[in-house]
A and B are shown apart, each in its own frame.
Chain A
Amino acid sequence: MTGLQNKATQPANTVPSGADAGQQIPQQEHVMELLIGYLLLAGVLASVTLLIIGLVWQKIITGHFALNYLISGMNLFQFVVSDFRTLLGDASFGPRIFVNLGIAALLLTPFIRVVASVFFFALAERNWKYTLFTLFVASVLTYSLFLR
């Protein structure tokens, strides 16, 4: 455990109901904090790496960093699928694919964090309230990102 001890256990001034209650819940929450923390970090690093590769590649082949194209009104699912189609053999494979995947990785980062939270609350904590709350957030994001 780091210096910043974790927390969100039971209300202050109350006593845990059993020996395990005081230990198990903080440990689970700390696992969740580490999981979420590293997920967010990995997502941002992946995004930044892909964007740098795309821009540097663009600079190498064209002599400048400028990329002039628009994502014409597609949801994230269509955006990612079109990227992977290009990645899996389309002739237009080039710097754009890395820039697109960098943006997609960034957008997927908080989404994956929310989905991971749903599973954590449902399976590890078995906390139905927060399973429902996170499921609601995941559902709204799924609709607005992938289905709309």
Chain B
Amino acid sequence: MHLISPELLFVISIVAGFIGAMSGMGGGVVLIPALTLLGLDIKHAIAISIVSVIATSSGAASAYVRDGVTNLKVGMFLEMFTILGAIVGATVTLASGDQGLFIAFGVVLLFSAATLFLRPHDTGYLHRQDGVSRWLELHGSYYDHAAGETIQYRGRLSYVGGPMMFGAGFIAGLLGIGAGALKVLILDLAMGLPAKVSTTTSNLIIGVTALAGTSIYLVAGLIDPGIAAPVILGVVAGAFVGTRMLKRLTNTHVRRFFLVVLLIVGIEMLLRGFKVI
């Protein structure tokens, strides 16, 4: 049972969804620390967060998929790895102590802060494909409105990307977050896909991965509908606004703001993990 008012949960979730959409990292990175600060234990916070991740991912993916930028085959190949990772990750969470989860969360946030400044490669997407990636049909094209041209690409190193996605799924299931930054990193840097394809395909994968993690938390009895309902509504509303605001802000402003947010929250979670605060 919980004592946090639904109104407060709704407002916090709007902020989390808003920041999550603007940063591209999902609402969990803000939602989980906020819920734990309000007195919810971290495992319940993780379980609630991962349900809300399904909502934001599905909402965003519905638009991206219809626009034709998402590569469905890349997504569906990699989902095989992420769902297994999420199930293992969620199972580990159930068996873990709270302090370990706080530390893991802090480390992932600080790592995410570093990835904000990794620049995606923006040229040369027609890689020489390895046999496995060719067999998996990991190629495609999309029309880039900003560049005014059709971008063609071929994915590579799928035999590396797949197992790495198990790790991304593990972190998603373990910590109840989308782990979008990590997934985009794998799609972009390892598999050589264009940034837009990486981001939108990652979004598609996140929903199914979160569902796999949720299945474990549901059976464990950690999904509290009284908390989940206002959180889902708030995160969806916040993400809806955040996605539209994103178009008005420059990348530099967004990145600076989120660097500060991630550093503060990451260090705060680490300190709580080590029982300094």
Interfacial residues, chain A to chain B (CB-CB below 8 A):
2-13, 29-30, 32-34, 36-41, 43-44, 47-48, 51-52, 54-55, 64-76, 79, 96, 99-100, 102-103, 106-107, 109-111, 113-114, 117, 129-130, 133-134, 136-137, 140-141, 144-145, 148
Partner of B65, one of A33, A54, A102: A33
Cα distance A36–B69 when bound, in Å? 13
Q: Is B232 an interface residue (CB 8 A)?
A: yes
Secondary structure call for the A interface: helix
Shortest Cβ distance from residue B187 to the other chain A in the assembled complex, whole angstroms: 15
Q: Is B259 an interface residue (CB 8 A)?
A: no
Partner of A36, one of B72, B212, B224, B226: B72
CA of A146 to CA of B67 in the docked complex: distance in angstroms?
Answer: 32
Please, which residue of chain A has its CB at the minimum distance from the CB of B221? A73
Q: Does the CB pair A137–B83 fall under 8 Å?
A: yes
Task: Report Cα–Cα, A114/B58, bound state, in Å.
Answer: 12
Neighbouring B residues of A67 by C-beta, 8 Å? 6, 225-226, 229
Look across to chain A and name the residue whose beta carbon is closest to the beta carbon of B214.
A107
Interface segment, one of B96-104, B142-150, B244-252, B269-277: B142-150
Q: Is B59 an interface residue (CB 8 A)?
A: yes
Q: B139 on the interface (CB 8 Å rule)?
A: yes
Any chain A CB within 8 A of the CB of B84?
yes
B199-223: which have CB < 8 Å to A?
207-208, 210-212, 214-216, 218-221, 223
Is there an interface contact between A7 and B58, defined as CB atoms closer than 8 Å?
Answer: no
Closest chain-B Cβ to A133's Cβ sits at a distance in Å of 6
Given the interface pairs A3-B145, A7-B140, A75-B219, the reply to whether A38 lies near B66 with Cβ below 8 Å is yes
B220 to chain A, nearest CB (A): 7
Are A107's CB and B211's CB within 8 A? Answer: yes
Chain B residues, Cβ within 8 Å of A65: 5-7, 230
Q: Which of B139, B208, B216 contacts A110 (CB 8 A)?
A: B208
